[in-house]
Every structure is written in structure tokens, then in C-alpha cells.
Amino acid sequence: MVNENFWKLRKKLQFSQLGLAVSAQVSPAMVSAVEKYNYIPGAKVRTKLAGALGVKESMIWPEIETAEVAVGQ
């Protein structure tokens, strides 16, 4: 299952997977796992990736925001 939001943002900003990994200070394998397998990393990595892409985490992982709201109820 591909994370299309992540892929589209990365392509729109003309980042290669390696370029995004360097910019976000994460491993290229992490970028690949998020994109290709819809892996949801821990909060620290999510923040780094979203920051490098210039978006809120919920733009990449909308299910995270939904889960946090449900837990906070």
C-alpha cells in the first residue's frame, strides 16, 4: 500500500528519496518504507519528514490525527 500523499508531496517538491532523507536527517530506508509500505514512523521521524516537506504531519498521515483525537476523548 503506497502512501500517495507522501509520494505526491515528495514529487511536487522535486525531492528524490535520498534528497528527502538527507534534508530530514533520516535514513533513505525510512523514506522508502513510508512511501512504499505506508509505514508510520514514530513522532520524532514524522516531525522531521513533515518539516522537510513543509507540511503538517496530518497532510501525510491523516490517520494519526484521527487516532490522537479518539485517544483524547
Q: What does the domain layout of the chain look like in residue ranges?
A: 4-72
> How far, CA to CA in Å, does 7 sit from each of 26, 33, 51, 69?
16, 11, 15, 25
Q: Which of 67, 30, 69, 32 is nearest to 47 (CA)?
A: 30
Average pLDDT of the residues in 10-34? 98
User: With 90 as the cut, is the pLDDT of residue 1 above it?
Assistant: no
Lowest mean pLDDT among 3-7, 10-14, 23-27, 62-66: 62-66
pTM score, whole prediction = 0.86
Per CATH, the architecture of 4-72 is what?
Orthogonal Bundle (1.10)
- Name the phi and psi angles at 38, rounded to 5: 55, 35
CA separation for the pair 25, 66 (Å, rounded): 27
pLDDT tens, 38-72?
Answer: 999 999 999 999 999 999 999 999 988 655 555 55
